[in-house]
Amino acid sequence: MGGGKGLKKTGDYKNSGLKKVVRNWDLYLLMLLPVIYLIIFKYVPMYGVQIAFKNYRAVDGMLRSPWVGMKHFNTFFSSYMFTRLMTNTLTLSVYSLIAGFPMPILLALLLHYIPMKRFKKIIQSVSYAPNFISTVVMCGLVILFLGERNGLLNNIISTLGGERIGFMAKPDLFSSVYVWSGVWQFMGFGSIIYIAALAGVDPQLHEAAIVDGASIIKRIWHIDLPSILPTIVILLVLNVGQLLNVGFDKVLLLQNQLNLSRSEVISTYVYKVGILNALGDFSYPAAIGLFTSVINLILLTSVNYLAKRLSGNSLW
């Protein structure tokens, strides 16, 4: 009897689940396209990861290419480029995270407290605009503005009595050029999600704080920041999970022979070894790419775990 009731409950549960699917078929149909995209372009290509453990030759194909195990990983770890690539990649990533992550939050808070709506809209439009500039155009503008002979910034420095600086020729300045140009380009667009989160804060909390005589700084610290903390934590976890994925196209476009010692990162090295290499070695760069993916996965899960323990907010 008890078993029959259990089966009946299970059947009812399945029927109710099927009814929900039928009732919301349009939503599931809408979800079908992105799911198909993920399967075709994200999961199916994982089959090719095996070439990182093989000496891949196009003539033999993926399955018949000889198995070499961890050879390509050991070659990368013992290479003289390993330390330089890891140092440059982590420097750009951590620098970008420290300088770039708080900026959209600060901009969103500033815009949230601007009383003049027209001025607020102007600031938003001006700050959003650089995001829609292509990377190629943006890098061209950066090189043009920072040019040693006729660059706008050097013209200002020269007018003020200073000496012209070869920004793009100094390896030590490359990370700052890369990071702060990125902050300028993406800060406004990145603030949109925080502005939306601030819009959801209960106005009664601010009204009560104003009655109690709280200043704007105290209202930000005790009301706004705790309210948008889940959003901040989730975006921070996602950013940390991409530490080794420094933007390839921007680094490559700003790179030259004079700053190469600081601008060569993992992604540009993989491009040069795997694509530009006349020998067409695919296994070695595949091994490097797999290594970075594994490290990013470890960072993502670790930071997500710490965020859940410390703040109670996480991706999963």
User: What CATH class is the domain 67-311?
Assistant: mainly alpha
For the cut 80, the answer to whether the pLDDT of residue 75 exceeds it is: yes
Give 35-55 pLDDT, tens digit per residue.
999 999 988 988 888 999 998
For the cut 80, the answer to whether the pLDDT of residue 1 exceeds it is: no
Residue pair 315/238 in contact (Cβ under 8 Å)? The answer is yes
pTM: 0.84
Q: Name the burial class of residue 5, with classes exposed (0-12), middle (13-18) and buried (19+) by CB atoms within 10 angstroms of its CB.
A: exposed
Label residue 262 left, alpha or beta by phi (over 0 means left) and psi (-120 to 50 means alpha). Answer: alpha
Give 229-282 pLDDT, tens digit per residue.
999 999 999 899 888 888 789 999 999 999 999 999 999 999 888 877 756 678
Domain boundaries in the chain?
2-53, 67-311
Collapsing DSSP to helix, strand or coil, 67 comes out as strand
Q: Count CB neighbours of 147 within 10 A.
A: 17
